[in-house]
Chains A and B, each alone.
Chain A
Amino acid sequence: MSDTVAPMLSVFPSRALVDENFKVVVKNLPPGCPVTLHSLHQCEDKHYWEAYGHYTSNHRGTVSVTDDLSFGGTYTGKEAMGLLWSMRPVPGSREGLRLRRRNVCSPLLVNISVYRGHVVEGFREQAPLASSLTERWYMAPGVQRTQIREKGVRGTLFLPPGPGPFPGMLDMWGGGGGLVEYRSALLGSHGYASLALEYFAPGELKSADLEFNYFETAFNIVKYHPQVMPDRVGIFGLSIGAVLTILLAAESSFVKPSCCVCISGNHLYPRGATIKEVHQVLNMKSPKIRLDENNYEIWRDMGLPIPDDLAHKIDVGRIHCPIMLVNGHDDQSWATVESSDDMAQMMRAAGNLHLLTRLHYPDAGHLIEPPYTPLFRATKFVKDTKEKVILLWGGQTKPHSDAQEDSWKKILAFLEQNLYSSPTLKAKM
């Protein structure tokens, strides 16, 4: 056997939350050695995802992903977290895959390896020089996860560790349906008692017998929880969840959130309509659905033009709490930017524009999620007709990932400002 000891590959921290940075360093390589850093993850559906970057070691035989530049691969440039956000399904995978973690109690396991030379394919067929395993967690130690089945409301509550009381959050996802827990798990890890709400099963939006009342009840479950501060409860929504958030903030007489975060939402909701009726409206507009060159459905035109008629829009002038809107300019699913422009106009006219914060990201798509998870430019979606199509969400990998990283930091700061800051400081502002 040769006297060559393996290079040392380290990932620090080896166990981290999904939104935390890590440092990947390789030592003990020969100087000026071309290598490929590679990441591999097998998701719960058993698909493989990978990313890689091409590097050259320095005179001491070291490569540091945080400090050095990648000159090729699924990401280029100085990208500390590129090995995570630029992951994509390995060649030969099915189309339209989406990496969404269902079990948030255990970590995502990512294998990070270093290969000799600048490799572009066939990673599984060769032995790496060294490899390391890193754990990415949605739940911090001590966070408690509880199923909620109360007053007809279905969801999962994540409580931070400690006695509390904590600020609360109602967390709503979008048209894909089902119960998506990971954002609430992360919010719980950041100190918010967060309820991930399930409000319809996948593909069943049309038949969902939903009334406004369901969301108000859900909000109150959070508000009146013994470990939640009733005067510090916010609402967080993405896509349809964001529409519902804006609706609750503007129209509900029972629900008074302390602040709202709306990602890729809009205010196009016929006044007084039920969700079912909204759906019928959407169906009527379905001729406006376009197809791109891959036959992926583009839905954004259904929302255009933004109507002038107030009867078709939520009266955002009635919002009384700070609200943050996050949108991607390359959103192919909804006309969120145009909607957000219109909302700002309405709020200016109503005199509550000071409550609005807008985060806009060029070349980001619809699904702006917590950072360092792969972009889904287009994924399969089950329509109400039970038809399985591929929806184009939009977004270019690097700008979309930057948007996720930047918006998440700003969202957490916004939540901290509005839900954690002491009252005396607030009064002075």
Chain B
Amino acid sequence: GLPSTLRMTVGWQLERPLYDETKNFTCLDGSKSIPFDQVNDDYCDCPDGTDEPGTAACPNGFFHCTNAGFRPQNIHSSLVNDGICDCCDTTDEYNSGVICENSCKELGRKEHELLAKQAEVAAEGFKLKATRKLVGLREAKKDWEIKVSKLQTFKEETEVPEKEAKEKHRQEWEGILLCSLSSPSCTLHVVAFVLVFLRKTKKPEEDREMPPYDEATQALIDGKTFSIKIMIVDLEKELSLDLGRNGEFAYMYGKCFEMTTPEYIYRICPFNKIVQKPKSGGTETSLGSWGMWVDLGSNNYSQMKYDHGTACWQGPSRSTLVKLTCGRETVVTSTVEPSRCEYAMEMQTPALCQESRLQKQHGDEWQQAHSEL
């Protein structure tokens, strides 16, 4: 059990009134009342584990470390006196014989530095994001919209000859159909058409399908209008891309970023594709094409999925999950393959930097904690 001096203090949260030495203790879930000397006596009485906040007796309990100088923490009771220091103030190992150093100050300092740096990065990134966004995106989008409408008009114009040719073809075909029903209305022209047509197909009387367009008609279809269609589809795809709540990821579009490991060069072209190239040379392997944002609801534009990459031998096609964090620059920081052909990439971007109240708050807390010492 606990030494009596520790018994009243160790592992307790700040809500001291819950643990009143003068009264029986009622488990916080209300299920049971026990004499107060059974609190923290290293035996689990409460089903919710609340009678043993300072020991490992309850399988579902929590131990509170104050961690003065750093952040307070609730750890699983299973970590109390297990010979491993989990709390930086070492209070979780009061009876295991292990000797740890209080590292809270050091951790606090490091965290403060880290947070300060992060805040700086975030602020810079945020600025960068804002300028990029303003300059780039809205204009680009308008441009695209104009382009699309122009293309639409152009498409309609260019489609006129095509339509006419098709219409002619159709009329002639209908003529044939009529012809076969009532021979007097057949003209020589139609007969010629039929002859040409019969040469091409085996069983015309059964098929009764419209024959293929003649070459000139087909050329019109395959020509300009078709490529315009593709351009429109592409542009519409771009327009439909979700480039962030405020389009903050638009600056990445059309760019590529690389990362080198001892074996490979990884290249991500956001909203397009990810490839892997052996350093020793050899062919590129696709690790996936742009799929979608993952977990948009909870995580806010922080995970991208690329899929349908090069298929693995006897396995699935390669895919990559890209995790984005706030950073001053746009860089790929790591690429790993946790499961065969399922890659995980980490990338920093200013686009994810927020002007965070939380970070400010952390800084304040730290100042406060620090001055208390």
- Verify that A and B bind, or say they do not: no
Task: List B residues at the A interface (Cβ < 8 Å).
Answer: none
